[in-house]
Chain A
């Protein structure tokens, strides 16, 4: 059995996926990235190996992606998270796609053609508007556990209208709304709407839309809001937070197969 590993070291979380040559997920892990990316990658790999019942030497090749992709000494190659998420999404939905990845620090809109080739991508720049970091900051300001955001937003009977995407300005607006007595559920729904609107203004959503990343994995209500805004169904891979890691592992498998073909030729 040929096993390849993909490690997606994001600003918030490190994700690991181990795939066999057919692309089946054998083991995975998700843990905080912390400040030592190499250590979190190593720990994540150990967890995934344990889950898969594999030994380290059985993993033939490891590709990394994400913010800390260049900080992992045992990686064989790196790919950008844009390549990894596009590949990861296309693997599950092989057709022309617009992939929305909402990550801890970055949002990406990636266009993929029917053959799986990336035709364009957009990425937020320095600003954290619409990213996981935006929601994390709001959770801090509201003294709420981020894990409760999804259920709170679902319970909202109303929606707070927030005029800005900016994390700093939104924090001020949220404080004003609290003073006005706006329910916290409505505030959270307003924050989710802010994420959706920010993402939608980044690029045109063409064809089938797929959402990936940790934010949508933990907040499926965002997906429902996105569908409502777009007026069409939006697909999500089975393990949205692992899409980048699976994509990196799949690219590693393809690279290995190409090397083997060349060696055979």
Chain B
């Protein structure tokens, strides 16, 4: 069942409303507890036609593609939209959608604090969680505390499974292609947890085996798109042994909180997530995270796979590459537009990079 069919079935068979969610971090447990199905909008495969009239040319293609989806009327399955405050461009997108294009569906906003995270940040975050829940209640009905608690526990199970998936891959005990891994990992962008948990359990069981013996790299950036990078690495016998992707490890590898109060648990989990450019995490934390992932997974090179014009990432990358190189980790930086494939030059650069780290 493809994503559109699945989301339609959520409405028709399960009676759930669908909430289109723009990148990146948001408390999906609150949506689940309200019986809302989140459908994340990262890289919809729509051809660019209308969005250019609303955006400056230097806006990234995550925002461009997301707006295009709305303007082409291809997000009809969604009953509402949620815009986390990930970066300036997504905040501006929220304004364009909510204030200017006259969408006849409710738009919600979610603000999360940027680093450095002091005590006040935690109070603020928890207030934002509750404000979001209150804001969604007119659409979805009242939030029951016991249901939120159940969904938080379910979210912890999802995170545990992702942790196993990443752990098995890092240990070289996952016999699946790079493309297969990310197809599976990204199912979480639209599967309801009742379906996601058994899916991930099945995938983990079916993918057990030995990873190829070729070069191992860490992939950093926003998301693994264009997906041709994954098939290219597969063809060249290389494994993405770990990642530092905003759409993936930076929000999937969540240490569980032991707090009994679900609001407290969600708060603790947010602040325990891996560091991220979109949260303003210090370079030192990002560097330590990447180095730690490389160490654990045996990755001997880092590929920065950047969406062109992604400002939060572009601020960090020059310093990260400089520091990683100083520590003996070769880096390759590729900047790409979503859904536009890899040029011959880019493929050559990837292949040459693998030759270099493998020699």
Contacts and interface: CB of A to CB of B under 8 A. Distances in A.
A246 interface: no
Given A117-B359, A118-B359, A126-B343, A82 B330 contact: no
A198 to B, nearest CB: 15
A67 B355 CA distance: 16
Contacts of A121: 349, 352, 356
Interface string B312-327: 0000000000000100
B345 interface: yes
Nearest to B343: A126
A82 to B, nearest CB: 4
B348 interface: yes
Interface string A112-155: 00000111110111100000000000000000000000000000
A126 B335 CA distance: 11
Contacts of B261: none
B88 interface: no
Interface string B128-169: 000000000000000000000000000000000000000000
Given A80-B351, A120-B330, A106 B345 contact: yes
Interface residues of A, number: 16
Contacts of A120: 325, 330, 356
B344 interface: yes
A185 interface: no
Given A79-B355, A117-B359, A121-B356, A126 B345 contact: yes
Given A117-B359, A118-B359, A123 B330 contact: no
B356 A118 contact: yes
Contact of B348 (A82, A119, A126): A82
14 contacts: A67-B344, A80-B351, A81-B348, A83-B352, A106-B345, A117-B356, A118-B355, A118-B359, A119-B330, A119-B356, A120-B325, A121-B352, A121-B356, A126-B343
Interface of A: 67, 79-83, 106, 117-121, 123-126
